[in-house]
Structures are given as C-alpha cells and as structure tokens.
Amino acid sequence: MRVFLSPPMMNGDDERRLVGEAFDSNYIAPCGPMVDLFEREAAERFGFRQTLATVSGTTALELLARALEIRPGDKIIVSDLTFIGSVAAFVSLGAEPVFVDSDPATWCMDPNLLAEALKRYPQAKAVIATDLYGQSCDIDALAACCDAYGTKLIVDAAESVGATYRGRPSGRGAWAAIYSFNGNKIITTGGGGMLLSDDEAMMALCRKLASQAREPFPWYEHERVGTYGRLGNIPAAIGVGQLRHLEDALRDKAAVWDAWQTRFASRPWIHPMPTADYGVPNRWLTTVTLEGVDPFKVVEALVAKGIEARPLWKPMRLQPVFRACDAVCSGVDEALFQSGLCLPSGRNLAPETMDEIVQLLDSIACQ
C-alpha cells in the first residue's frame, strides 16, 4: 500500500455524522449552519476575534491582497523558504516580491534579515512570513520590525494549525494569519482554508470580497471587484469534526515525531529540524537535513517503493518565475534545500514502515 507524506485522518464517525447533518439541513451551499459553527469554534479555539472560512489557504491570502489594494509594482516582503501559495495571489495582482532568508535555528524568516529588507524597501505593503513545517515564525521579533515601518505582518500559518508561539496559537500577534485545511494538513476539510484576525473592519471587507464584493442591495450591486472564496457547508462540516479532534491530531503527530527521533539517535548524520525555544510546533511533517547523503537520491528510492517523501521547499528566489526578484540572503535556505528531506508523517504511520525507511537511508549512506 502506498505510504503518503501526511494523509487525512477522520475521527471515528464524527465527521460523517456532521456531514449527514449538513445534508439533512439541505444547505448544500456556500453558506449554512456548519460554516457558521466552524468559524465560531475556530475563533474560540485559536483566540482570534474574527475568522472567515475560505475555499483554500491561497484564497485567504488573495483576500488579504485585495483588501490591501495591491497594485502593479507594489513591493511585498516574503519568506524565501515556503510554498508558492504564500505569494502567488499577491504576484497575480502585480506585486513584486522581495525574498528573505531563514534563521538556521528556526528555518523561518530571519528577523535580522527582515530588518535589512525593510530598510531597503520601507514602502513595502506587507510582510508575509511562513510558519514552516508546523513551527511558528518568531512573530514578536518580526512584528517589531514591521511596526517600525508601519508595515502589515501576515503570518502564513498554513502548516502550523495547532502550534503555539509563546503560549499563543500560531499566527496570533500578527495583523492577520491564514490557515490551510488542504487534504495533507494536520486537520482538513478536503480543501479549504481560513483567514483569522482581530481587525474587524478588514475582516468585514474580506467577507464581502469573498462574495464577489456584493453590496447590500436586493439586486447585485458592486463598487469594486472581489472574488469567490467562501468555504461550502459540506466541507465546513468535516472541518467542525476535525477541529474538535485537533488535540488528538497534535498528540499523534508528536508521537510520530518522537518515534522518528528514536531512530535518528544512532544516526548522527541525520539532523532533525531544530525546535525553536519560543513555541511548540504541531509536528505536521517530520523534516531533517542529511550530512553526506543526497536527499534527492533518497526521495527517488523511496518513491520507487511507493513511499512518498519530498525535498524541502525549493527557495522562492531560486524559482525560474522569480528570477528577476530581489532577495536578502544568507545562503541558509539554499543549503537547507540541498540537504533537506520531508519524511512520511501520517498519524498512523506504522513502526515497520519507519524501520524500512531508515534501512533504506542507511543503505544509501553506505554507498
């Protein structure tokens, strides 16, 4: 059977029952009681004043880009080591990204390099910092840099749902945060996302923009252009069930991380992603760097056996599409990409599969 990096996991019959309730209500629609419940319970669980369930994490970012009225030529400052979804929506509206390298101690945006980037581009419209592989970025340090220039800090917390930073849920302390509930995330709605913020005026605007910017008239009246972005009632029902079991998911992911660590202990050439002392990661993916072993070879060998594994994110500034963009670099991201590996991290990953994977790693290390 194929082993996935991070497959979805339902919790007994809970999600099925909630989807059944959604069917019974006949809200097979882009609104309904499950959407309201999901947003309310997420606001309570994550401590934000406002939440907006969206069709994806990318859409949540698109709504922010539209709310900020991003125009061609606007600069935005973005984590270099991330998934392209962090930046795609902003670039589609004409923004020019400037990429910032990572702190080797966290693999997230380096606050000292952000300070340099802001000095170079004080007019930047926003900073988008990614929480990488379930670990929060150093929000307070990044926010202090942004505050000095009056720049909005957005945390792309797509990968860190359930993690904490100084005791606060991930993204809390930024102007806005986005979560992803894509099928491979720690909790899922199949595909989906969320925008979270305490800025009530901005959230009201994003709610309107997510419904094609329809004004409150009996007919369709539009003063500006929005998009379609609301999560439907059926996936929201799955989200309610998943969210109610987030603590179970966190416990299972931590157990998988620990099980990997016992296997790494006797292999000093495998270095796990460092854990920052300011928070508790959600352990979405177990990621490592390898010393003296080619991670691309490992990925190829694992995939040939039906085991999904991946290199780390390829830094954005190395992507052909961003060739012309400026960056503030230290070389950390490039080194991570050349040596890093994402290992299967499913909640029910079998110990025998982990053993098989480390044996394969050993055999490549000996070549």
Applying CB under 6 A, which residues contact ligand PLP? 56-58, 82-83, 85-86, 130, 156, 158-159, 180, 182, 193
Task: Please report how close the Cβ of residue 357 comes to ligand PLP at its closest, in angstroms.
Answer: 22
Task: Please report how close the Cβ of residue 350 comes to ligand PLP at its closest, in angstroms.
Answer: 25
Integer angstrom CA distances of residue 263 from 100, 128, 255, 270, 300: 33, 35, 13, 10, 21
Integer angstrom CA distances of residue 109 from 86, 105, 139, 356: 13, 10, 10, 34
Q: How many CB atoms lie within 10 A of CB 81?
A: 27
Q: Which two tokens stand for residue 193?
A: 């996302």
Task: Please report how close the Cβ of residue 185 comes to ligand PLP at its closest, in angstroms.
Answer: 7
CA dist 133 and 367 (Å) reads 29
CA dist 347 and 252 (Å) reads 5
CA dist 215 and 67 (Å) reads 15
Task: Please report how close the Cβ of residue 293 comes to ligand PLP at its closest, in angstroms.
Answer: 25
Give the residue with the Cβ less far from ligand PLP, 27 or 133.
Answer: 133
Give the residue with the Cβ less far from ligand PLP, 113 or 187.
Answer: 187
Look at phi and psi of residue 83 and say left if phi exceeds 0, alpha if psi is from -120 to 50, else beta: beta
Task: Please report how close the Cβ of residue 85 comes to ligand PLP at its closest, in angstroms.
Answer: 3
Task: Please report how close the Cβ of residue 48 comes to ligand PLP at its closest, in angstroms.
Answer: 18
Q: Which residue type, as a one-letter code, is found at position 184?
A: N
Give the residue with the Cβ less far from ligand PLP, 15 or 62.
Answer: 62
Instruction: Please list the helix, strand and coil fractions of the chain in percent, rounded to the nearest 5, in that order.
Output: 40, 20, 40
Give the residue with the Cβ less far from ligand PLP, 25 or 184.
Answer: 184
Strand partners, 155: 129, 177
CA dist 121 and 352 (Å) reads 51
Give the residue with the Cβ less far from ligand PLP, 83 or 260.
Answer: 83
Give the residue with the Cβ less far from ligand PLP, 33 or 183.
Answer: 183
Give the residue with the Cβ less far from ligand PLP, 74 or 159.
Answer: 159
Task: Please report how close the Cβ of residue 315 comes to ligand PLP at its closest, in angstroms.
Answer: 13
The dihedrals phi and psi of 194, each to the nearest 5 degrees, come to -155, 145
- Give the residue nearest to ligand PLP (CB): 57
Give the residue with the Cβ less far from ligand PLP, 193 or 295.
Answer: 193
Give the residue with the Cβ less far from ligand PLP, 312 or 361.
Answer: 312
Q: DSSP states of 134-176 as a string?
A: TB---HHHHHHHHHHHTPEEEEE-TT-TT-EETTEETTBTBSE
Give the strand order in the sheet containing 75-79: 50-54, 193-197, 176-180, 152-156, 126-130, 75-79, 96-100, 327-328
Give the residue with the Cβ less far from ligand PLP, 82 or 339.
Answer: 82
Look at phi and psi of residue 171 and say left if phi exceeds 0, alpha if psi is from -120 to 50, else beta: left
Task: Please report how close the Cβ of residue 13 comes to ligand PLP at its closest, in angstroms.
Answer: 26
